[in-house]
Structures are given as structure tokens and as C-alpha cells.
């Protein structure tokens, strides 16, 4: 029993030291951003009209930078009213999780061109005002695809700056969205189980018929404390083409603050 306990302690200490060494060789940052987004959408399952307007848009991002790769976990939230050319309105809400992994074995993370992968998860819900029936619409998709990052640090008047641009293109995944007129996806039956209805509601997402692309270009000012302030321009476009297509396009301007965690 004493031998078993001693070995457990040794294993725990080795794991703790390995984890401590990994963190000592990495950098952790928290980014918070908020601003305005010009957003337009068209849901042909409900109406051929385009709804557009300004929404509030916010991001909370954690990035972990190690010797060989950088990982980014970005939570997104957008909300605001949209109107069509006849004055009809809807309330639009978006929730998202966008993840990046960039590899830089042959170049430093602070500079240069880095290739990697992205994973995008987006849930959109719309409530059309002035309609008592069929006013609720939603769509969701989860996808993966390639990503690219370019980082260019420079100095100006004795201050440190960095220009960083990230782009992603989603290739394959799955989607769920409201059917024609009603909120529920097509093929849903009240007599079937939840699992069977889920399988009927899921459709594949693949580039060519469906689209999701985005770009984030940021100008960052590094403060003496190691934290940063910045501004970001963020255009994006998506299309869910299965059945009645849903089109969406947006561009946002965000003010950012970075807190260096370690």
C-alpha cells in the first residue's frame, strides 16, 4: 500500500511539473470587444424580402499561444432590430463560437503568415414583429474549414503596434433550420421520437451549395503593461442553401481591449 501511494505521488508530481512547464512556455490572453454591426439577412422560407439594420455586436476571446501553435476560442453575440423596405421589422439575435488553431513551427507567433484550421458554430434566431403566427425562425450550423493568419508588428513614434488579419472558409459540417413558413424544420413529426426528428432535421453543409466565410482585421497598440488596445473590422457572409435558402451578410467595427493573463 505504501509503495502504491508513493508511486501515485510521484506520478502526480511529474504530471504537475509537465503542466507547469507547458504553461511557462505559453502565453494566455483575454480579448473583449464591442461595437456596431451592419447586418442584412433574407430567409426565403418566410419572405423574399431583405431585412437590414444596425446591431450591437460583442466578442469575448481567449487565445493560448505555445511554441508550435496558437489556439483561439471566440464567443460572439449580436442583437438588434432589422427592417425591410416596407417598414416591417424583426428582432435578430446571434450566438456563436469560433475556434482557430494556427501552426507556426518554422516561424514565431508574433510575426508572419500562419496556416491552420477553424471550427464555426452559429445559432441565429429571428422573431418577426407584427405576426402572431409563424413569427419565430431560426437556423444553426457547425462547420470546419481552413484558416489563415498574418501578423505584422511595427513601431511608430516610439510605440509598439501590430496589424493582424485572420480569415476562414468553412468547407463541411451540418445545419438545422426552420422549414417553409413554420418554425420547425421540414420533416418533423409529432408522432416520432426526438432522436428521429433530430436526424430528419439535420442536413449536410458543404462548400459550393452552402457558404460561410469571414475576415477579422485588427490594428493593436501594445501598452507598457503588456496589455493592448485596438480596433477591428469584421466582414462575414453565409448562405444555407438547402431547401429554402437563408442568406446573411454583415460587417462590424469593434473597439478591443486585451488583458495578458500570463
Sign of CA dihedral 138, 234, 101, 12: negative
CB of 11 closer than 8 Å to CB of 210: no
As a whole number of angstroms, the distance between CA 160 and CA 153 comes to: 7
pLDDT tens-digit readout, 179-236:
776 677 766 656 566 677 777 778 999 999 999 999 999 999 999 988 999 999 999 9
How confident is the model at residue 187, as a pLDDT? Answer: 64
CB atoms within 10 A of CB 242: 17
The continuous run of DSSP H or E covering 122 comes out as strand 112-128
Sign of CA dihedral 23, 232, 43, 206: negative
As a whole number of angstroms, the distance between CA 194 and CA 48 comes to: 31
As a whole number of angstroms, the distance between CA 236 and CA 131 comes to: 29
As a whole number of angstroms, the distance between CA 213 and CA 236 comes to: 6
pLDDT tens-digit readout, 44-82:
988 899 999 999 999 999 999 888 899 999 999 999 999
As a whole number of angstroms, the distance between CA 241 and CA 247 comes to: 8
Cα radius of gyration (the chain):
22
As a whole number of angstroms, the distance between CA 234 and CA 218 comes to: 9
How confident is the model at residue 128, as a pLDDT? Answer: 87
Domains along the sequence of the chain with CATH: 27-260 (2.40.128.100)
2 band by pLDDT with thresholds 50, 70 and 90: very low
DSSP code, position 4: H
How confident is the model at residue 57, as a pLDDT? Answer: 98
Please determine, for residue 95, whether its predicted confidence score (pLDDT) is greater than 80: yes
The three three-digit cell numbers of residue 200, written as one number: 430528419
Closest CA to 179 of 243, 102, 105: 243
121 band by pLDDT with thresholds 50, 70 and 90: very high
Closest CA to 72 of 147, 19, 157: 147
Closest CA to 110 of 21, 228, 214: 228
Amino acid at each position: 500500500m505504501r509503495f502504491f501511494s508513493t508511486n501515485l505521488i510521484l506520478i502526480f508530481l511529474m504530471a504537475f511539473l509537465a503542466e507547469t512547464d507547458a504553461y511557462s512556455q505559453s502565453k494566455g490572453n483575454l480579448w473583449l470587444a464591442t461595437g456596431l454591426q451592419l447586418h442584412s439577412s433574407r430567409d426565403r422560407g418566410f419572405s423574399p424580402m431583405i431585412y437590414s439594420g444596425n446591431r450591437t455586436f460583442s466578442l469575448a476571446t481567449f487565445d493560448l499561444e505555445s511554441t508550435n501553435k496558437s489556439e483561439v476560442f471566440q464567443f460572439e453575440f449580436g442583437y438588434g432590430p432589422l427592417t425591410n423596405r416596407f417598414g416591417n421589422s424583426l428582432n435578430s439575435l446571434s450566438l456563436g463560437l469560433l475556434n482557430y488553431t494556427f501552426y507556426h513551427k518554422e516561424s514565431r507567433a508574433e510575426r508572419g503568415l500562419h496556416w491552420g484550421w477553424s471550427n464555426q458554430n452559429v445559432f441565429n434566431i429571428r422573431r418577426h414583429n407584427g405576426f402572431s403566427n409563424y413569427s419565430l425562425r431560426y437556423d444553426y450550423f457547425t462547420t470546419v474549414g481552413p484558416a489563415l493568419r498574418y501578423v505584422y508588428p511595427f513601431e511608430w513614434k516610439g510605440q509598439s503596434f501590430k496589424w493582424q488579419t485572420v480569415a476562414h472558409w468553412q468547407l463541411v459540417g451540418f445545419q438545422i433550420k426552420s422549414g417553409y413558413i413554420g418554425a420547425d424544420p421540414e420533416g418533423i413529426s409529432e408522432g416520432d421520437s426526438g432522436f428521429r426528428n433530430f436526424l430528419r432535421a439535420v442536413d449536410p453543409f458543404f462548400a459550393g451549395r452552402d457558404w460561410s466565410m469571414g475576415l477579422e482585421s485588427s490594428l493593436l497598440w501594445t501598452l507598457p503593461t503588456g496589455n493592448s488596445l485596438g480596433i477591428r473590422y469584421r466582414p462575414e457572409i453565409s448562405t444555407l442553401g438547402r431547401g429554402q435558402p437563408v442568406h446573411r451578410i454583415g460587417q462590424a467595427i469593434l473597439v478591443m481591449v486585451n488583458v495578458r493573463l500570463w
